[in-house]
Amino acid sequence: MSDPIPFFDLYAQDFLRVAVAIPVVALAQPQENARRTLALMQQAVQQDALLVVFPELGLTGYSCDDLFHQTALLDAAQQALQELLKASHDLPVLALVGLPWRHRGHLFNVAALIGGGKVHGLVPKSFLPNYREFYEARQFTPALTMQTEWIRWGDSTLPFGPRLLFELDAQPLATLAVEICEDLWVPIPPSSLAALAGATLLLNSSASNASLGKADYRRQLVANQSARCLAAYLYSAAGMGESTTDLAWDGHGLIADYGQIVSESTRYQTHEQLLIADIDLARLEQERMRQNTFSHAVQQQSHDIATFTRIPIVLPLPPSRARPLYHPPARFPYVPALSTQRQQRCAEVFQIQVQGLHARLLATGLKTLIIGVSGGLDSTLALLVACAVVDQLGWPRQSVRAYTMPGFATGHQSQKLAEKLMKAMGVHAEVIDIRPSCLQMLADIHHPYVSGEPCYDITFENVQAGERTSHLFRLANHQGGLVVGTSDLSELALGWSTYGVGDHMAHYHVNAGVPKTLVQHLLRWAQSAPELAADIAPLLDEVLNLEISPELVPDQGKGIQRSEATVGPYPLQDFFLYHTLRFGFSPQRLAFMAWCAWSRRDDEREPAYSYAALRHWLEQFMRRFFQNSQFKRSCFANSPKIGSGGSLSPRGDWRAPSDSVAQVWLEAVHRLPLNAPGDHG
């Protein structure tokens, strides 16, 4: 790719930058409100936003009450709209602004979508609240049953009606639909049908006064509607300047993208606010494609969907330049950033693991669990799960029979740590040296190692892995037990397991739905769970600080064998895995998102990666995931699914041919720019 700049532009990657504005309202002063609206539109343009949503009736103020029946105010509102159109003619942004509108002898509460010096459409409010503090039916007419009309306004002919869809010519994935305040609060909001008709961005101009508990309910409404509709939801509510005769106003703005609140205003501010967020249109498209029930609902509502009028809007995207995401993607998508959420997530993940193994143990009728313990992350977590299961059953910890099996490259530190863990957990513990049986196997197959040659090939490695597995399964036969597998989701994704041996084969796996980055946090969480073992916390620190290594090849002066030197940094590979498995993103998309997330260091304790390193490890991920590993996953033992990030069970989330190749993914990687803007080779 000769010009890398377009690649590093969020708009080229099917993101859309949007804004929600919370102005300070000048009550019953349309010209002043138009001036303030223009200023916020200009700010949105400076932030590269293509769309900005303003509050309900923002050109007049929502709380004018019977002033809405005064001709002077109505005329002034339309005049203010005219002036706003003229002043914003050259601004490359769409704005949704509210005002009262007379039509056929009725007065409507309307949201006007404007841009490029013209009104693209007028959407009247469908549901008018007339309960408690609301008396909108006193001033306005509801538009619920209206059909789309084309009305004259000056020299323009405008679409007018509640069922309008605005389609952006420059971004086919962006289709806008509008509803106003109360429309969201009814059992079936108009935006639900609009989403089925193709809307991906749902816009709400609202007033919504403040009262105790209302903000939490708004968040739930906005987030849930965004999730159910597989859409983005932009919500702007009235703030400072509205009448406080009987009410207060908190200026609550929200932007949700597929169920997650990605930007929120600070309530009760005395100054204007502008929220910015980048909407992931490609993810919304993927979700709608994957969720076949969404398509079923579209078919069920086909008659109503046909009543929508589609309005094309020609608005160019901002000039191409290196434009990273306003809020970079989470570096650890499997791990919540907030401590309280992380603790809750870890507790539930652990319970899923425990419940799965508990049920399987009962189903088999066996009374013993067999597990290999290396002192590493995965086997430590599996040991904790096994102990929690026998505790639930009221069985003695000795029902867990744990074995550490040193081989040719087992480190002294890891072996001693495994022994200390088994002792601290109170399980039946044994050490079985597998080197004699490995030497016998190597001799039987005439391997050079037995002749004194330092040949540390894949056969040398897998003989050790195979001997450990053989011992565990024969111990299970001998003890009447069930072999607990330890391999995690990241290792499965990268094919970092030996076919048919311990990190691949077991009677039941407990970690197979847990990525490596989450395994680490589960162990940190376990340090605060004294019911697992009173004195295990210091040992878990040792486990977490231990280098991740298969310990199959002796140190030859190059240092310990490091897993991440071969398969890549697990935080990066888990990032690629999540977005590949969950959303099916292309390598181009993954490279851009990784560049946004990982190319800068906001915290000295966190790593940062050059774009070249990101590109290199992305290529390794694509090769290992799509070409080298599926045959192992296709015959993987049972394991419970953990999260919405997906599993790799051939019976569940991921079904793929074992003999496919990674050509199209690797070719996509090879077409990526070699350097990012600002790189120096």
Lookup: tokens for 362? 């009962």
Lookup: tokens for 430? 């044994």
- Say how many CA atoms lie within 13 Å of 276 toward its Cβ: 15
At 121, give phi and psi (nearest 5°): 180, 155
The residues near 474 (Cβ < 8 Å, ≥ 6 apart) are none
Question: How far is 239 from 497, CA to CA, in rounded Å?
Answer: 57
Question: How far is 607 from 604, CA to CA, in rounded Å?
Answer: 7
Tell me which of 56, 182, 272, 461 is the catalytic residue: 56
Contact 201, 175 (CB under 8 A): yes
Helices 516-526 and 339-364 pack at an angle, to 10 degrees, of: 90
Tell me which of 136, 179, 181, 346 is the catalytic residue: 181
Question: How far is 412 from 206, CA to CA, in rounded Å?
Answer: 65
Work out the number of other CB atoms within 10 angstroms of the CB of residue 340.
8
Nearest-CA neighbor of 93 among 198, 176, 150? 176
Nearest-CA neighbor of 103 among 64, 161, 156, 63? 161
Lookup: tokens for 234? 């932009």
CA 37, chain centre distance (Å): 33
Full DSSP string of 280-325? EHHHHHHHHHH-HHHHHHHHHTHHHHTT-EEEEE--PPPPP--B--
Degrees to nearest 5, angle at CA 119 with 200 and 243: 85
Classify 116 in phi/psi space as left (phi over 0), alpha (psi -120 to 50) or beta: left
Tell the residue number behind the tokens 């069922």, with chain if given: 163
Question: How far is 31 from 606, CA to CA, in rounded Å?
Answer: 50
Contact 488, 612 (CB under 8 A): no
What residues form DSSP beta bridges with 167? 175, 312
Question: How far is 123 from 121, CA to CA, in rounded Å?
Answer: 7
Catalogue the long-range contacts made by 634-639 (C-beta closer than 8 Å, 24 or more residues apart). 634/658, 636/492, 636/504, 636/509, 636/512, 637/485, 637/505, 637/506, 637/507, 637/508, 637/509, 637/512, 638/360, 638/508, 638/509, 639/356, 639/485, 639/508, 639/509, 639/510, 639/511, 639/512, 639/513
Residue 444, CA distances (Å) to 432, 450, 463, 562 in order: 21, 10, 11, 29
Full DSSP string of 581-619? HHH---HHHHHHHHHHHHSS-SSTTS----HHHHHHHHH
Residue 501's SS3 state is coil
The helix (H) or strand (E) run that includes residue 179 is strand 175-180
Tell me which of 64, 125, 596, 619 is the catalytic residue: 125
Contact 122, 130 (CB under 8 A): no
Full DSSP string of 214-241? HHHHHHHHHHHHHHHTTSEEEEE---TT
Lookup: tokens for 184? 């969201």
Concerning whether 229 is annotated as a catalytic residue, the answer is no
Report, as residue numbers or ranges, the catalytic residues.
56, 125, 181
